[in-house]
Structure 1
Amino acid sequence: MSDSSHKEVHGFQTEVKQLLQLMIHSLYSNKEIFLRELVSNAADAADKLRFKALSDASLYDGDANLRVRISADKDNNTITISDNGIGMTRDDIITHLGTIAKSGTADFFSRLSGDQAADSQLIGQFGVGFYSAFIVADKVVVRSRAAGVDADQAVEWSSKGEGDFSVENIEKSNRGTDIILFLKEDEKEFLDDWRLKSIVTKYSDHISIPVEMLTPEVPEVPESKGEDGEVIPAVPGKPSQWESVNKAEALWTREKADIKDEEYQEFYKHVSHDFAEPLLWAHNKVEGSTEYTSLLYIPSKAPFDLYNRERQHGLKLYVQRVFIMDDAEQFMPTYLRFVKGLLDSNDLPLNVSREILQDNKVTQAMRKGCTKRVLTMLDRLGKNDADKYQTFWNEFGQVIKEGPAEDFANKEAIGKLLRFASTHNDTSVQNVSLTDYIERMKEGQDKIYYVVADSFEAAKNSPHLEVFRKKGIEVLLMSDRIDEWLMSHLTEFSEKQFQSVTRGGLDLGDMDDEQSKEAQQQLEKEFDSVVTRLKESLGDKVKDVKISQRLTDSPACIVTDEHDMSSQMIKLMQSVGQEVPESKPIFEINAEHDLIKHVADEADSDKFAEWAQVLFEQAMLAERGSLKDPASFVARLNKLMLSLTH
């Protein structure tokens, strides 16, 4: 590596090369977004300087009027976007402009299909930022000087967007960043001032600092005489000067009635760097013991790294319109980490830190208010627009299911948002709400029944459902990885208890008629000796053997005792390397099934024991999806089948 004052050439990170090629080829229909992205980055740089200057006013260096400037040079075929914000050091430039500083990039690229329309949407979820410059430019030069450093410590970055970029130290008289785009030959439309102004007005009107462009120079008109000899006085000329072309007013400070939907949508793209439109939003000013403004958005698409624990989530925080921090996670619970937007508080100190926010009463009040606002917004959407809510659920339902474990105070409100598949329609679409389920409950039904399995098909075809289908009782079908965890925390909804159909003794309460109860008691008497023989054969593999009330078609099933860990929870814990306490299942048999009757009549104790093992292992396989010793099971089954043919 050469001395830092000399020019160095670096190779792009592999993912940057891929992203550049994708943008150039996938976003050709929306080229103008490059200006939105670069202006948005410049505004962020100004926000960050304003925040740092709270504790060190010398960073302004006599220039506290923050702004972004855009100029076009038709002779050199360039556009320059300049700001006097925080600026970048040499290390900053190499880190931020040479790599994609986001975890999960490999997953992002693995999901690209090669379809331009689909890929451009995915790029939008990822956020393109600075690299969008290469949509219209075949060369980009960045000159930057960090606030608080000397003029000779500025740095220049240059690249043609191919395999590498160069970095060298330069002198720069003022702090901030200049981005110079050398336009492609077929992109000269962006050299037109009117075109640039229209893009700024369309996308960046809400930016809270001025976006300035040069007004045309007006030449002086000398004194002259008209045809009648009358003297026409001279008109003084006007030099070209910088003039703001946006409103330069923070959008969230304006009255809601004065803000168009298009403005809210563009502001969302500014704060989220998402290309897609938001699904919905809420803009509120809260007054009283705590005063703040919130502007909260629900995205229409989940970011590709929604489940990445390393990814920072949160809202932008402003205090009295001064930007304080990105990703302030203290104001939104983790299960609502997809919410975008900002908070502007009048009650927090300007020098507030993440540490102070952690246990601050104002923070807690704002978090409580914002959480309630989002839950209410989503509940209203679910009631008023089922299709739109289904779009939301398909994207974010998995993280909403984290809610009951995290947010006990709002458990009922979260319950209203949950959607499940069920035996009501037997499709894998999760569109049944708990409110819908309760409205359809049978007369005498006092529980919400559900089954959790490895897949929708396994849940739908579970033998535990047989008596429920026979009686027309709806059962929720759950197969998401998180569902068992969810149900361990969601014990009731609207004063109705949840009951797993795979747990404990089945009690249908008032839905079970006296005739059924008498028939069950009769079967238990008739098969008492068979149950005893099965217990002896299976030994310590089972906790108990019982005559089943829940089976109508299958010969047998296993059931988890009411206080033991369920099969699905055991699998979940084992998958993350947790030790699982040993628990034995209850083995239930269908006394009216022909196979059980055949086994009951088997006098040979050895053959009876073989049948007991096969029936038990079949039930284990159906419930847990695997056996400890599948080869022995197959051998035993083959042996019994051969014996039936003789």
Structure 2
Amino acid sequence: MSSQVHEFQAEARQLLDLVVHSIYSNKDSFLRELISNSSDALDKLRLESLRDSELEADVADLHIRLTADADARTLTVADNGIGMSREDVIDLIGTVAKSGTAKMRQALAEAGEGGASEELIGQFGIGFYSAFMVADRVTMVTRKAGETVGTRWESTGDGTYTVDDVADAPQGTAITLSLKPTDTDNAVHDYTDPQVLRGLVKRYSDFIAWPIRMAETVTVPADEEGGEPTVEQTDATLNSQKALWAKSKDEVSAAEYADFYRHLSHNWDEPLETISLHAEGTFEYQALMFLPSQAPLDMFARERSGGLHLYVRRVFITDDGADLLPEYLRFVQGVVDANDLSLNVSRELLQQDRQIRAIRRRLVKKVISTVQELQDRRPEDYATFWTHFGPVFKEGLVNDPDNFQAVLKASVFGTTHGEEPTSLADYVERCPADQQVIYYMTGESRQQIERSPHLEGFRAKGIEVLLLSDPVDELWTSAMPEFDGRRFVSVAKGEAALDDDAAETDTAERDAEFTELLAWLTEVLAADVMQTRLTKRLTDSAACLVGDTFSMSPQLEKLYRASGQQVPHMKRVLELNPEHPLVTGLAKAYADAGEERSGLVPTAQLVYAMAVLAEGGELADPAEFAKLLSDTLVAGLQ
């Protein structure tokens, strides 16, 4: 096929422009990313050769090679791994095969202004583009294992790239960077200097499982007979190839763990916690996992893969360990190396393998217990974890019934007790001795919940209520769980247990005064309410809407409808505050109206609408409400 000139995908072109022209405080990240890509290519070839015995590929000496040419100012990063076909090159290099590209560009632009953009390199799979930070031109020659024709890709980063066929390309991928001039003012290294390259590999890629080689020139001293010194070329391996997960924590420094975490996650933040696990017995395996200190921007992307890499006896199997941890722990990064799995185990078989299931159970319990330990021993680190991953972690309350109580215990929740979230253990400790339930309320935000009239009576009596504002809270609380033998009770459902014997002596007489009004309101508002009654939970507001004990909350209805499910409109109870002037005025107007009460219907409708708005709900017909309110105000002014 002849040479072709292509334009970068529009979003990729904008992203490339940001990478090239933004100010980075650490351009060294390009080498780490290219070496990591090469390592992945070698892993994939090793696995493919085990799966396909007829694959025509050389796997005798898999390695990564750095070649620097100071005179030509070029640096080549090459591997003899899986390689790419022509279609792969166009699809993977010419486009950004990720969602959320606009968010990606925004994050890079903002970070570029602050000089911290290197933290985002690789986070969205853009490691290859980082080469343009240090190169005026990038040339890639690649041949996919098993194919006979290779592909050359070349670009100066100006918005276009060329693609050619290469008949004699070696297996694997070689990326040659035509380096920009060394910028000593900004402390950018000379990437043709062997000592610079050796130092960068040692710092960022020492743990890569494959040898990273580089030809070095050494001077051999003269022999004792007075001969001349000689200059020789040696092939040096720059990395130690240590498998950190096979070592105990005492043998590995925090810096080594941090570098390994960055290699796996393609992030530049520090790991919040390192989890090392060595299992012996029936199933032997080692695991090294990390809790990140920052959430990736694609945390909620549907196509986001798992964060664990699976190896079998140091042989790479997959970098999408979705079967090793449930989705609510998808933020965990790390490696699991098992001894007894079949080397040619397929992705389909992983889900059915009983050893994988056993490993998964152990890993899940270890991660949850580690989160619990952070909560108990390092509150500041736990607060960082919860800020970034709390809503994701709580998905386990819905999706992992086996570990429900453990996840619940390791979680914290907003509360009326103060601004800081609380654990359930602390909530229970503060409870009065006679309170055998845990009160909560759900909503779209803490601010909305705090302003809800449903809290008035509980606040007046000093009863603590959990404020649950994450969407997942609507789901797990609907199952009416328990903690420490105490049921969860919504303050927006059922009748509020706020009786005060001293204040209830005249209850029967008071209720009789409103009996007819309540029946009339139930009839007038029959399309929206199932009952109208006097309230025990309101102190300041005129009215509120309350669900049945087993009913679905308005927020949960909205979530189901947003997901495309048909949910019938749930009628609720309208509760009135008999001490509020609006309610007492309505009762008097009702008594004075005699048999002709049609003029009070708009007021009844307004009371209902105000109750909907007070809890942050949405009116079915806002325009009709506005007209009704306007007409009522006008009538009052006449």
Determine helix, strand or coil for the equivalent of 1:53.
Answer: helix
Q: Which residue number corresponds to residue 263 of structure 1?
A: 256
Q: Give the structure 2 partner of residue 295 of structure 1.
A: 288
Find 1:329's aligned residue among 315, 322, 332: 322
Which sits farther off after the overlay, 95-104 or 518-527?
Answer: 518-527
CA distance in 1, matches of 2:206, 2:533: 72
- In 2, distance between residues paired with 1:70 and 1:513? 80
Q: Give the drift of 1:270.
A: 1.1
Please tell me the residue identity of whatever aligns with 1:104. Answer: G
Shift in Å at residue 582 of structure 1?
A: 3.2
8 Å CA contact 2:44, 2:81 repeated in 1: yes
The letter for the 1-side match of 2:139 is V
Tell me the distance in 1 between the aligned counterparts of 2:60 and 2:277: 30
Q: Distance in 1 between matches of 2:631 and 2:49?
A: 82
**Contact 1:449–1:474 (CA under 8 A) maintained in structure 2:** yes
Secondary structure in 2 aligned to 1:356?
helix
- TM-score by length of structure 2 reads 0.93
Give CA-to-partner distance per residue, 1:540-589, whole Å, 9 cap, x none.
Answer: 53211111010111111111112222111122222233211232111111
- What letter is aligned with 2:570? S
Change (3 A) 1:616 1:318: same
2:376 is the alignment partner of 1:383:
yes
- Three-state SS of the structure 2 residue aligned to 1:535 is helix
Aligned partner (choices 300, 311, 319) of residue 318 of structure 1: 311
542, 545, 560: which one aligns with 2:547:
560
Deviation at 1:629, TM superposition (A): 3.0
CA contact (8 A) 1:145 1:172 kept: no
Report the counterpart of residue 474 of structure 1 in structure 2.
Answer: 464
Distance 2:176 2:97 in 1: 23
Aligned ranges 1:219-258 → 2 under 5 Å: 221=222, 232=225, 234=227, 237=230, 239-258=232-251
Deviation, structure 1 residue 452 = 1.6
How many Å apart are 1:522 and its aligned residue? 4.5
Structure 2 equivalent of residue 514 of structure 1: 501
Q: Does 1:136 align with 2:134?
A: yes
Give distance in 1, aligned partners of 2:634 and 2:461.
38
Q: Measure the CA separation in 2 of the matches of 1:313 and 1:236.
A: 55
Aligned equivalent of 2:360, options 353, 364, 367: 367
Would the aligned equivalents of 2:26 and 2:118 in 1 still touch at CA under 8 Å? Answer: no
Structure 1 counterpart of 2:93, one-letter code: L
Aligned-partner residue type, residue 134 of structure 2:
V
Matched AA of 1:447: V
Matched, 1:535 2:527: no
Deviations 1:123-165 (A, max 9, x none): 4532432111111111111112222233xx1221111122111
Q: Which residue of 2 aligns with 1:145?
A: 143
CA distance in 1, matches of 2:173, 2:422: 53
CA deviation vs aligned residue, 1:294-315 (integer Å, no higher than 9, x gap):
1111222222221121222242
On the 8 A contact 1:9/1:167 being kept in 2, the answer is yes
Q: Distance in 2 between matches of 1:417 and 1:387?
A: 15
**Matched-pair contact (CA < 8 Å) for 2:131–2:177:** yes
Equivalent in 38, 45, 59 of residue 41 of structure 2: 45
Conservation of the 8 A alpha-carbon contact between 2:478 and 2:552:
no
Q: Deviations over 1:89-138 (max 9, x none)?
A: 22222222211122222332355554523655444532432111111111
Alignment RMSD? 2.3
- Which residue number corresponds to residue 348 of structure 2? 355
Q: Which residue of the other structure, out of 587, 598, 619, is the alignment partner of 1:606?
A: 598
Q: Distance in 2 between matches of 1:63 and 1:590?
A: 79
Q: Contact 2:215–2:235 at 8 Å: present in 1 too?
A: yes
| Deviation for aligned residue 1:496 | 1.6
Which residue in the other structure is 1:616 paired with? 608
Whether 1:492 and 2:482 are equivalent positions in the alignment is yes
| Residue type of the alignment partner of 1:541 | D
Q: Distance in 1 between matches of 2:541 and 2:51?
A: 73
Question: Does structure 2 conserve the Cα–Cα contact (< 8 Å) formed by 1:16 and 1:98?
Answer: yes
User: Which of 24, 28, 32 is equivalent to 1:32?
Assistant: 28
Offset of residue 475 of structure 1: 1.1
Deviations 1:573-618 (A, max 9, x none): 2223321123211111111112211111111123443332221222
Structure 1 portions without partners, runs of 5+? 224-231
- Measured against aligned partners, the alpha-carbon deviations of 1:481-511 in whole angstroms (never above 9, x if no partner) come to 3331232246222222111111011124xxx
Distance 1:17 1:635, change over 3 A: closer
Distance in 1 (CA, whole Å) between partners of 2:583 and 2:635 is 17
Among candidates 263, 267, 270, match of residue 274 of structure 1: 267
Residues 538, 40 of structure 1: alpha-carbon distance in 2 compared, 3 angstrom cutoff: closer
- Where 1:445 maps in the other structure, the secondary structure is coil
State, as a whole percentage, how many aligned pairs show the same letter: 42
5+ unaligned residues in a row in structure 2: which ranges? 184-188
Given that residues 103 and 311 in structure 1 are in contact (C-alpha distance below 8 angstroms), is that contact kept between their aligned partners in structure 2?
Answer: no
1:88 maps to what in 2?
84
2:302 maps to 309
Aligned pairs, number = 626
2:186 is aligned to: none
